[in-house]
Amino acid sequence: MTGELAIDVRGITKSFAGKIVVNGLDMQVQRGEIFGFLGPNGSGKTTFLRILCGLLHADSGSGTCLGFDVLSQSAEIKRQVGYMTQKFSLYEDLTIEENLRFVADIYQVQRAAEAVKKMVASLGLEGRGNQLAGQLSGGWKQRLALASCLIHQPKLLLLDEPTAGVDPKARRDFWEEIHRLASEGITVLVTTHYMDEAERCHRLAYISYGNMLAIGTLKEVLSAASIVTWEVSGPNLSSISKILKETQGIEQVTAFGNKLHVSARNASDLELAILPFRKEPLVWQKIEPGLEDAFIALMQKSTDNFQ
């Protein structure tokens, strides 16, 4: 890895009520990088984000965020981070401009009124400044939430499932804005469950129940999953799927539209397992596994630490 690091932490650990939620995580993110953070619900992603921005204190570990110590300089980090939570957290009975002015005042933004107008314009909120936040659709609320994260000109954005519940066009527009911000040098760490969004990131990390299972580029994460995938199409796939799931040598069977993806880590065992089914009218084809195939395979390797 080359370039200046915005995030450089090692061994970050956090427990609640004796249960480890984040278990010795290492992460290095370059300035200006869009870094995707994947994992099932309850895997520790949000806890890790909150540690990075100083809202939670790690039990152990070390490192820096934007050059500041993550354990002892949380106040300095907070001033330079924009954190977008999963749930819309602005005041619904205030207008767009009132919400932005409130956040600007908290961060003691110079020329706050001018900064609000610029932010409204830059994110396409013109003409809506006097609209109550509670009256906005999901996509417009998302834009407002992002604007509130950017009003103080942060160097790092922490986005926690920012596009959950918004339509495909709003998601695409949002990601175009994220790439524009990254091109200007802002670092972005984003959690998502959407595989198409994960593929838009420069690098990815997969965390499951507090443990890092894979980290790197899309190609490297797919390689870490170490799976082989066959695609099958034909009639009665629902019945075939049930049989395949119970066949030794097959680890996962997933429906993708009118096809199935059949996967396993051991290529020879998988080929032997599907051999009896490789006849008409079924059509089989070996394919490159996708990120969702890898996601499911990695989940199968992990154990819920709360069970």
- The reported pLDDT for the residue numbered 163 is 87
- The reported pLDDT for the residue numbered 236 is 92
Q: Are 297 and 265 in contact (CB under 8 A)?
A: yes
CA distance linking residue 23 with residue 261, whole number of Å: 32
Question: 19: how many CB neighbours lie within 10 A of its CB?
Answer: 11
Residue by residue, pLDDT tens for the chain (307 residues) are: 456 999 999 999 999 998 999 999 999 999 999 999 998 888 899 999 999 998 999 999 999 999 999 999 999 999 999 999 988 889 999 999 999 999 999 999 999 999 999 988 887 878 888 889 999 888 888 889 999 999 999 999 999 999 887 888 888 989 999 999 999 999 999 999 888 899 999 999 999 889 999 999 999 998 888 899 999 999 999 999 999 999 999 999 999 989 999 999 999 999 999 999 999 999 999 999 988 888 888 887 666 655 5
Using H for helix, E for strand and C for coil, what is the string for the chain?
CCCCEEEEEEEEEEEECCEEEEEEEEEEEECCCEEEEECCCCCCHHHHHHHHCCCCCCCEEEEEECCEECCCCHHHHHHCEEEECCCCCCCCCCEHHHHHHHHHHHCCCCCHHHHHHHHHHHCCCCCCCCCEHHHCCHHHHHHHHHHHHHCCCCCEEEEECCCCCCCHHHHHHHHHHHHHHHHCCCEEEEECCCHHHHCCCCEEEEEECCEEEEEECHHHHHHHHCCEEEEEECCCHHHHHHHHHCCCCCCEEEEECCEEEEEECCHHHHHHHHHHHCCCCCEEEEECCCHHHHHHHHHHHCCCCCC
- The reported pLDDT for the residue numbered 307 is 55
- The reported pLDDT for the residue numbered 95 is 93
* Domains of the chain and any CATH numbers: 5-80+154-222 (3.40.50.300), 89-148 (no CATH), 228-288 (3.30.70.330)
Q: Tell me whether residue 117 is exposed, middle or buried, using C-beta atoms within 10 angstroms of its C-beta: 0 to 12, 13 to 18, 19 or more.
A: middle
Question: 203: how many CB neighbours lie within 10 A of its CB?
Answer: 18
Q: Are 30 and 5 in contact (CB under 8 A)?
A: yes
- The reported pLDDT for the residue numbered 303 is 62
